[in-house]
Amino acid sequence: YVRHSSDPLYTPEPDTCHELLGHVPLLAEPSFAQFSQEIGLASLGASDDAVQKLATCYFFTVEFGLCKQEGRLRAYGAGLLSSISELRHALSGNAKIMPFDPKVTCNQECIITTFQDVYFVSESFEEAKVKMREFAKTIRRPFTVRYNPYTQSVEVLRDMLSLHSLVEELRHELDIVGDALHRLNTQLGV
């Protein structure tokens, strides 16, 4: 689906332009891809209500997120980046912009047929990630999960064996970091 030629600057439904201009460039950036994936992982095992709250936070970050960069307002949400009309609206100074707080954001209505009533801004993209991670920790679920990039699968961490395996992987990764620091210190003569 490609937006109608009568209004090429805005479409209420995700289309090819939205996916290619909005999502693809951001998901190619590892930190953003991790952010998007962590929201999805936080939903596993959660109640329907918690999943809805995560989905709303996703909507107001991954789709319509704003952050500051060098003191200036910037868009990182795919819905904004793929719609010049909504981007102009969001950055016009006339749109309602509130600080991003997942506990507040998760209760905001998501509008899919017109511009948003409100947008949420973080002091930085990294701040948005930290706030979402802290919010995700408050969600009640019977287990914890992690994505294993080696097996490209989701692992459920709910017993000592799974935790022991994870700790061993982390030890190995820290050993690599330690080796790199040692080599760097040797090169610098420290």
Residues with catalytic function: 18, 23, 63, 82
Distance CA(54)–CA(57), nearest Å, equals: 5
Residues 6+ apart with CB under 8 A from 188: none
In the chain, what is the straight-line distance between the N-terminal and C-terminal CA atoms, in Å?
Answer: 59
Question: Comparing C-alpha atoms, which of 119, 137, 135 is closest to residue 127?
Answer: 135
Assess contact for 56 and 63: CB atoms under 8 A: no
Question: Comparing C-alpha atoms, which of 83, 85, 81 is closest to residue 25?
Answer: 81
* Sign, Cα dihedral of 174, 175, 177, 181: positive
